Amino acid sequence: MKSRSFRARPRLRPVPYRVARLRERAVAAAALLCKQRRRRTSAPDAEWESWRGYAESLATNGASAAEEEEEEVVVVEEEVESSDGSPLLTALQCPKGGAVLLLTPAQKLTFTGKCQMICLYGCVEVFGFIISQGQPEYSLFSPHTHSALTIEAMSHKQPDKKKKNTRMEARAILKHYLPLVSRRTLMKKFSPECSIVLLTSLEDWITSFILSHQDYASIFATKQKERHYCVVPRDPALKAIGIEQLQADCGHVMSESSILATEELVQACVEENDGYPVILVCGPRNVGKSAFNRYLINVLLNQIPCVEYLEFDLGQTEFTPPGCISFFNITEPLLGPPFTHQREPHKMVYYGETSCEHDLERYIETVKYMLCFCKREAPLVVNTMGWVKGFGLMLLIDIIRLLSPSHIVQLSVKDVEDLAPLTPEYVQSATGLHTKGKLQVKHKSLGLMGAQDPEQQEEGKDGLRFQMSTGHKLLCVQSNFRGVGDPGSVRCHSSILRDLATLSYLSKMQPVELEQLIPIHSLIPYQVPFNAVALWTIHSDVAPTHIMYTVNASWVGLCRILEDFRYQLERPILLTQTPVCDCLGFGIVRGIDMEKKMYHILTPVAPEKLRLVNCLLVGSITIPHSIFKNQPGIKGEAPYVTSAYSFEISGAGKIKVNKQLKRREHQRTH
């Protein structure tokens, strides 16, 4: 009988089968306890805590740390709702600073404050602009002076990716920002349709300079009178980065007609059937023209790389200090109000006033001058004034005929008729400031409308033609945001918005290499000889002997005129009329040295551009009062400010000359 050899039997590894069974039991037990917990109360008791710890210990028995992250225990939690019925947001604070925010599809974060945002997973929409995973970081500004910004999650489910792969991708991204416990909390509510963004605190020179002035120190905080119905209970993670969550309905509301108009305009810009579209936006005051323009530009930048912008509104300019007509090429989204995105214009003219009612001729000449430099190499968006009655309507008719736009977006308020529909027929027959309308003869027998030859044009100065029949498409938009059409309910007075734009421009003078702000009066000015620049006051007639009193401590446009005035005289050079010329920037006349014949000018304009400046234009645009009375770090007496003034003394005001035309054919308005 053969002896059998006995080999050592290999040791069994019970991990694959036993651990799997233990995990299944642990998950089943946790799910059962969770159901019982939901029936009783939302607060966990001692029994639940002990069972959860036991289930987690069973689930991780024999598994490595990597397996623990891959096969985590899924616990179903109750959905907590806010006061408006929407689920509360999941925001977790990062150890290195910032907050990770999970947004389910169509979930929104409406907030007041400022922050930087980068999309880690999925995609979100901010005021029409779509920000996807892999795009750079964007700065978001949401002050109480304007409607609040909203971050909204977009649908982005990819059918070719499995659910397990998307979860692994999200976990791999979150490892760089959140610890394991926080990742578990976030992944419990994660689904492939969700979006994840990282919000961090934002510190920039523009807003830091504005906030340093006492008058504007709280523009990024919620108004006290709105707190009781707008503010959501504070989230510690969001509070840490300096933003405050608001109710979803407190953000800017885009009406259905505005969304439909935007979709049609985007389609026209993408197709380019008849060249690049020219889109003119018009309407009375306080109907949301500027907000519509920003939203339209953001939506267009989702499809095309560049949008041209032409600014004809003097009082509420978008990219410059007030009182300018300017032309821009926009390549970046507009995610804040105008004072947060002041930009260098491609071409700019300083008109010098916030309204053109006292000199309509110079306004239309400035418009013609700007149109000569519009190349129209991209879709053009044109912003107009809110003055649409009387002479303001005549100016608008002339601008339409000069531009010959492909689309006119006319904003209005429901049940309020401030402006007749600007149809092609109406524009053709209306009377402009420089043009007469084409008379139409009604054929009563046929019920038809006959008109003169639509190809006829009237030629104006500078070789520009007034197109009598534009053939544009009219898009009527009704605004429905809170306080629309009511001047008394505006969020912020127009003069404050102009001061904010001016302060934003002045912030560029702060030295970048220094970590603290320097008062304006402590900066070193440029010295400009009297005979190097010509001088002129735009808004009023000033005697030559008093011109220096007008210029000192004034806001001036740094311009370039073509006239050569090389004089050897050391006295100031005065122009005889207001020129229509290029403006290279702005400055403050800090002082005038009469002995050395020098102007002392503070300006952020680069020296290479200052060499081209040969004209100083003084308009009615004023320096914000906060510059004089409460600058940060000011010591001693503030320049140009005195408390020893007798208010009983009455003085003369400036002489206003109305230069608008009053021709017989222009007395009748349409």
- Pull the structure tokens for residue 548: 């220096």
Q: Taking 60 as the threshold, does the pLDDT of residue 369 lie above it?
A: yes
Q: How many other C-beta atoms are found inside a 10 Å radius of the C-beta of residue 96?
A: 9
Least confident of 250-259, 408-417, 647-656: 647-656
- Fold that domain 494-629 belongs to in CATH: Elongation Factor Tu (Ef-tu); domain 3 (2.40.30)
Bridge-partner residues for 555, per DSSP? 588
Side chain identity, residue 616: L
pLDDT interval class at 8 (50, 70, 90) = very low
In angstroms, rounded to a whole number, what is the distance separating the alpha carbons of residues 296 and 274? 20
Least confident of 134-148, 345-359, 656-670: 656-670
**Which of 20-29, 361-370, 485-494, 651-660 tops mean pLDDT?**
361-370
Q: Taking 90 as the threshold, does the pLDDT of residue 655 lie above it?
A: no
Q: Taking 70 as the threshold, does the pLDDT of residue 587 lie above it?
A: yes
Residues 6+ apart with CB under 8 A from 430: 393, 397, 437, 670
Q: What's the rounded mean pLDDT across residues 30-58?
A: 49
Phi then psi for residue 444, to 5 deg, are: -65, -35
Domains 256-485 and 494-629 share a fold: no
Per-residue confidence (pLDDT) for residue 362, from 0 to 100: 95
In angstroms, rounded to a whole number, what is the distance separating the alpha carbons of residues 428 and 406? 15
In angstroms, rounded to a whole number, what is the distance separating the alpha carbons of residues 452 and 562? 41
In angstroms, rounded to a whole number, what is the distance separating the alpha carbons of residues 341 and 130? 18
Q: What's the rounded mean pLDDT across residues 248-259?
A: 87
Least confident of 61-75, 294-308, 624-638: 61-75
- Pull the structure tokens for residue 523: 């900066």
* Alpha helices, H only, 460-535: 494-506
CATH classification (class only), 256-485:
alpha beta
Q: Roughly what angle, to the nearest 10 degrees, separates helices 46-59 and 20-40?
A: 160
What 3-state DSSP class applies to 218?
Answer: coil
Give the CA angle between residues 336, 482, 125 to the nearest 5°.
Answer: 40
Q: Taking 80 as the threshold, does the pLDDT of residue 151 lie above it?
A: yes
CB 101, CB 186: distance < 8 Å: no
Least confident of 92-106, 250-264, 431-445, 499-513: 431-445
Per-residue confidence (pLDDT) for residue 572, from 0 to 100: 87
CB 132, CB 119: distance < 8 Å: yes
Q: Where are the domains of the chain?
A: 15-70, 90-250, 256-485, 494-629
Q: Taking 90 as the threshold, does the pLDDT of residue 505 lie above it?
A: yes
Per-residue confidence (pLDDT) for residue 525, from 0 to 100: 95
Tens-digit pLDDT profile for residues 92-132:
999 988 999 999 988 999 999 999 999 999 999 999 999 99
Q: Taking 80 as the threshold, does the pLDDT of residue 533 lie above it?
A: yes
Short-list 648, 586, 657, 665, CA closest to 622: 586
Residues 6+ apart with CB under 8 A from 250: 110, 148, 226, 230
pLDDT interval class at 206 (50, 70, 90) = very high
Query: Residues 631, 636, 639, 641: is their CA dihedral positive or negative?
Result: positive
Pairing type for strands 457-459 and 138-142 reads unpaired
Give the chain's mean pLDDT.
81
Per-residue confidence (pLDDT) for residue 361, from 0 to 100: 93
Q: What's the rounded mean pLDDT across residues 585-605?
A: 95
In angstroms, rounded to a whole number, what is the distance separating the alpha carbons of residues 623 and 299? 35
Side chain identity, residue 649: I
Q: How many other C-beta atoms are found inside a 10 Å radius of the C-beta of residue 1?
A: 3
In angstroms, rounded to a whole number, what is the distance separating the alpha carbons of residues 365 and 363? 5
Side chain identity, residue 262: T
